[in-house]
């Protein structure tokens, strides 16, 4: 009975991810959709984070860790995180702006640019490839501290972006929090850039871990061929 609970929580988190994306899809900055959608999205993401902690904790506590959990848990995490940043860089959060000497430009009110999402996606694909090489060689390639910290940073950044857009971003109708927009934008940018930088660092850390394994496997293959 207990063995299925962690996997059920992982499945529930995937469902929450799609509900979260639905909230972000229907909302449009200074357009359709009530700001309440972002509040709901914020709460959904918090619940998803709780399930992320619980499924791993319960799997270890009850000793029911299995291949489905090892594959499903990081898969759902990537869907939720990368999907969030893709949405933040998309059309629902785009605003026109005028820069001196440049004329009209288009920006995202979230502060997330498409190239940042490409970088995060490239890192995840690279690490997945590394993990495949290690496991093919019969070596476990679990998440490192750098990878776990990257996940924490990304999740906190997503929550910070939601708060900024809903409560501090400039709007047509002035609000009582408008005077805090500049410091709130600075906090938002600090988290976004910290996430981008740590995404690169954690990717390099995984490369540092996998390269010795890769060269060792190649050396073993050469020795095997030599003795045939």
CA 42 – CA 205 distance, rounded (Å): 31
Rounded to whole angstroms, what are the CA distances from 132 to 71, 137, 149, 206, 208?
A: 12, 9, 22, 12, 15
Q: Which of 172, 144, 169 is nearest to 38 (CA)?
A: 169
CA 170 – CA 164 distance, rounded (Å): 10
CA 162 – CA 159 distance, rounded (Å): 5
Q: Which of 79, 80, 104, 103 is nearest to 94 (CA)?
A: 104
| Residue for token pair 């060792």 | 216
Helix (H) / strand (E) containing 56 = helix 36-61
Residue 110 has pLDDT above 90, yes or no: yes
What integer pLDDT is reported at residue 8 of this predicted model? 86
What percentage of the chain has pLDDT greater than the value 90?
43
Residue 57 has pLDDT above 60, yes or no: yes
User: Residues 6 or more apart from 210 whose CB is under 8 A from it?
Assistant: 130, 133, 134, 141
User: Residues 6 or more apart from 98 whose CB is under 8 A from it?
Assistant: 104, 105
What integer pLDDT is reported at residue 197 of this predicted model? 96
pTM more than 0.85: yes
CA 134 – CA 202 distance, rounded (Å): 17
Report the chain's mean pLDDT, rounded to a whole number. Answer: 84
Residue 1 has pLDDT above 60, yes or no: no
Residue 52 has pLDDT above 80, yes or no: yes
- All structural domains of the chain, each given as residue ranges with its CATH number in brackets, are 2-226 (1.20.120)
What integer pLDDT is reported at residue 98 of this predicted model? 62
- Using only C-alpha atoms, what is the Rg of the chain? 21
**What average pLDDT score do residues 102-120 get?**
88
């Amino acid at each position: 009975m207990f063995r299925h609970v962690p996997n059920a929580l992982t499945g529930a988190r995937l469902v929450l991810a799609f509900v979260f994306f639905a909230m972000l899809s229907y909302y449009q900055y200074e357009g359709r959709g009530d700001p309440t959608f972002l509040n709901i999205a914020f709460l959904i993401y918090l619940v998803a984070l709780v399930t992320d902690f619980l499924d791993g904790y319960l799997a270890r506590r009850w000793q029911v860790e299995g291949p489905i959990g090892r594959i499903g848990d990081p898969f759902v995490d990537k869907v939720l995180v990368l999907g969030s940043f893709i949405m933040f860089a998309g059309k629902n959060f785009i605003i026109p702006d005028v820069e001196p000497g440049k004329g009209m430009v288009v920006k995202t009110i979230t502060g997330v640019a498409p190239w940042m999402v490409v970088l995060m996606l490239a890192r995840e694909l690279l690490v997945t490839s590394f993990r495949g090489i290690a496991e093919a060689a019969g070596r476990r390639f679990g998440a490192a501290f750098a990878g776990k910290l990257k996940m924490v940073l990304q999740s906190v950044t997503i929550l910070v972006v939601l708060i900024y857009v809903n409560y501090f971003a400039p709007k047509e109708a002035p609000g009582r929090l408008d005077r805090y927009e500049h410091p709130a934008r600075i906090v938002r940018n600090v988290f976004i850039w910290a996430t981008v930088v740590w995404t690169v660092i954690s990717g390099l850390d995984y490369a540092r871990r996998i390269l010795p394994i890769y060269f060792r496997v190649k050396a073993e293959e050469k020795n095997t061929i030599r003795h045939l």
